[in-house]
Chains A and B, each alone.
Chain A
Amino acid sequence: MDWIRILLSRCAALIHPQKLDADLDQELLAHIELATEENRKHGMPEEEARTAALRSFGGVTQTREHYRAERGLPSLESLIGDVHFAARQLRKHPGFTVTALLTLGLGIGANAAIFTLIHATLLHDLPVPHPEQLIRVGDGHRGGISWFSTQMYDQLRKNAPEFQELAAMQASSPDNSWLTLHRQGVAELPHGEVSEWVSGNYFAMMGIYTSGGAAIAACGRHRRSAHGRSDERLDVAARICRGPFANRQHIHHKHPSGDHCRHRA
């Protein structure tokens, strides 16, 4: 318990150091005076009595320093002193201050920008209702990505009740990845967009629904869309994908019959 009392007392001593210093000076002065008086009483002349008193006391300055070090928190006080000194120096040299501040500002800013980028691309979850429930099925090689045949996918889908939903996306098909889009009733030229094949349940699995119309559900119905004759449903899906999904997920579905439905993501 002693250490708590000592700590509290030392903290309290930080509040009015000047008053405590004055108190100490008065106390030490009284000590010297009392000693001088006693020496005088023993027959010493004034000057000698005072010298003897000082000698038996030891160093007054030394005692004062020792006392002050035990009274407060010297390391904290010296830290405060350092901060004051630094502030004074910075005020005195504005050129250096501006340079230092700019360097710090740019350094912190660059770090924050890079972290934001990394956070958004690598660390942040997909912007879907339950990203924590999404997993990618693979055999552990190539960063968890595996290639499955359509038959295998169908087989897994039928026989893996552990999954709420299982969707597939295109493995790799650079030749077919461009889709020509032309929106009906909009004055714009047909234009190409990067696209992927996905299974019909892809958006439902992600928990993404359209506010109007319908996203892809069954496959064969959308086949013609792949050839540039856009319909309303494709338009809706394309608009969904223009947001946070853009350039992030390329999706794929291949129907057992060989029909394809295609969407840009």
Chain B
Amino acid sequence: MGDGKPDVLQGTLDLMVLKTLESLGSLHGYAIARRIEQVSDHTVIMNQGTIYPALLRLQQRKWIKAEWGISETGRRAKFYSLSKLGLQKIETETENWERVATTMARFLAPSS
């Protein structure tokens, strides 16, 4: 199901989730969404719900794992954390993204 967004944006969100889990450890969906909003200064996620299909995609690839737990406010929530495979993938995904970003930067730089 395409959501009309270019693939690179979808990949970007996946990488943001991976990096968030890498730096903060096990988190539930809401915390991940909030963290991404804060780090990106509210420019990236328009709808927090978008995070769930991204979490599903990462789970399907076995890059992250999920288990039910209790939130800091005592509420039952699903917590996500990186798998071993996910840890390895962060490196390659980061390289991929940096390559794309560098290429785009060259195109967008004002021609001298």
By a beta-carbon cutoff of 8 Å, the part of chain A in contact with chain B is 2, 5-6, 9-10, 23-24, 26-28, 30-31, 33-35, 37-38, 56-60, 62-63, 66-67, 69-71, 74
Chain A residue with minimal CB distance to B76? Answer: A30
**Contact partners of A6 in chain B: CB under 8 A:** 57, 60-61
A31 to B78, CA, bound (A): 9
Asked whether, in the complex, the Cβ of B71 is within 8 Å of the Cβ of A30, the reply is yes
Q: Hey, which bits of chain B sit against chain A, CB under 8 A?
A: 1, 3, 28-31, 33-34, 46-50, 52-53, 56-57, 59-62, 71, 73, 75-78
Select the residue from B1, B52, B53, B78 with max chain A CB neighbours within 10 A: B52
Additional A-B contact list (7), CB under 8 Å, known A30-B30, A31-B30, A58-B46: A5-B61, A6-B61, A9-B62, A38-B34, A58-B50, A63-B47, A70-B53
Interface pairs (12), CB distance under 8 Å: A6-B60, A9-B59, A27-B52, A27-B78, A30-B71, A31-B29, A34-B77, A35-B48, A37-B73, A37-B75, A63-B47, A70-B56
- Asked if A35 and B52 make an inter-chain contact with CB atoms under 8 angstroms apart, the answer reads no
Q: Are B76 and A66 touching (Cβ within 8 A)?
A: no
A interface SS class: helix
* Known contacts A26-B76, A66-B53, A69-B1: A57-B47 contact under CB 8 Å: yes
- The 3 A-B residue pairs whose C-beta atoms are closest, nearest first, are A58-B47, A63-B49, A9-B60
Minimal beta-carbon separation of B9 from chain A (angstroms): 15
A67 lies within 8 A of B52 (CB): yes
Q: Cβ of B50: which chain A residues have Cβ within 8 Å of it?
A: 58, 63
Chain B residues with CB under 8 Å of A27's CB are 29, 52, 77-78
CA distance A151 to B85 in the complex (A): 87
CB distance from B91 to the nearest CB of A (A): 15
Q: How near does chain B come to A90, taking the closest CB pair, in angstroms?
A: 31
A66 touches B1 (CB 8 A): yes
Chain B residue numbers with a CB within 8 Å of A26 are 76
